């Protein structure tokens, strides 16, 4: 059963306190408009409407009212307003439907990619490529410059230019040399060669039916 959005922050609600729309937004780490959407979806009962200085309406809740709201069952009447909120906001509020989960996963993937690009700077890429060209496997070269091999391969999977440079540097790992007849063959790979040609040959052989 889906929990009420406030159920995850009950430890931060003072039963003797008073809370405005802005306070609830801060508790849930969402916008004021999101809180108003929750109010419209019958998820924040117990609030009192007050006239704000200078006109307008301001809502206020006691801490006890919010704690009672946090215990509400989510049902067809009380449900997160998908028509009003973005999938990412709905995820933060506890929705785990397919659409909201996909949006969350997409954002996480984008963040990981941005982090990888930030860590693997142009200077570090040049150092890594030089280390591979000097005869070190990519995993060892990655460790030498302070990044993970997974991060290097992840960036290479998205950056074709970097992938081509990494492949070119990897020819230095050819055990027999590019002029040798066994170079770029699955047999050489089985014998321990990890040069670019032998890795590509092995990959191609594995694709064949």
pLDDT tens digits for range 142-169: 999 999 998 898 888 888 889 999 999 9
**Residue length of the chain:** 209
The pTM (predicted TM-score) of the whole model is 0.53
pLDDT tens digits for range 95-143: 888 899 999 999 888 888 787 778 888 899 999 999 999 989 899 999 9
Rounded to the nearest 5°, which phi and psi values hold at 62?
Answer: -80, 160
Structure tokens at 150: 């997974």
pLDDT tens digits for range 25-40: 999 999 999 999 898 8
How confident is the model at residue 145, as a pLDDT? 93
> Domain extents for the chain?
5-108, 119-207
| Residues 11-29: b if buried by 16+ CB within 10 A, e if exposed | eebeeeeebbbebbbebbe
Q: How far apart are alpha carbons 98 and 200 in whole angstroms?
A: 37
Of the candidates 92, 162, 154, 95, the residue with the CA atom closest to the CA atom of residue 122: 162
């Amino acid at each position: 059963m889906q929990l009420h959005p406030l159920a995850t922050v009950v430890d931060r609600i003072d039963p003797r306190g008073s809370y405005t729309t802005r306070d609830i937004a801060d508790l849930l780490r969402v916008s004021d408009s999101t809180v108003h959407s929750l109010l419209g979806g019958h998820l924040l009962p117990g609030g009192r409407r007050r006239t704000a200085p200078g006109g307008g309406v301001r809502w206020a809740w006691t801490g006890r009212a919010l704690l009672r709201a946090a215990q509400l069952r989510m049902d067809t009447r009380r449900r997160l307003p998908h028509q009003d909120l973005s999938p990412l906001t709905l995820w933060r509020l506890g929705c785990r439907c397919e659409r909201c989960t996909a949006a969350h996963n997409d954002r996480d993937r984008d963040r990981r990619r941005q982090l990888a690009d930030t860590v693997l700077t142009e200077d570090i890429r040049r150092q890594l490529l030089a280390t591979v060209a000097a005869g070190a496997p990519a995993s060892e070269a990655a460790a030498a410059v302070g990044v993970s091999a997974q991060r290097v391969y992840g960036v290479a999977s998205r950056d074709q230019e970097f992938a081509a440079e990494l492949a070119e540097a990897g020819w230095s790992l050819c055990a027999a040399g590019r002029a040798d007849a066994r170079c770029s063959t699955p047999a050489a790979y089985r014998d321990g060669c990890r040069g670019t040609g032998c890795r590509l040959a092995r990959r191609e052989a594995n694709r064949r039916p």
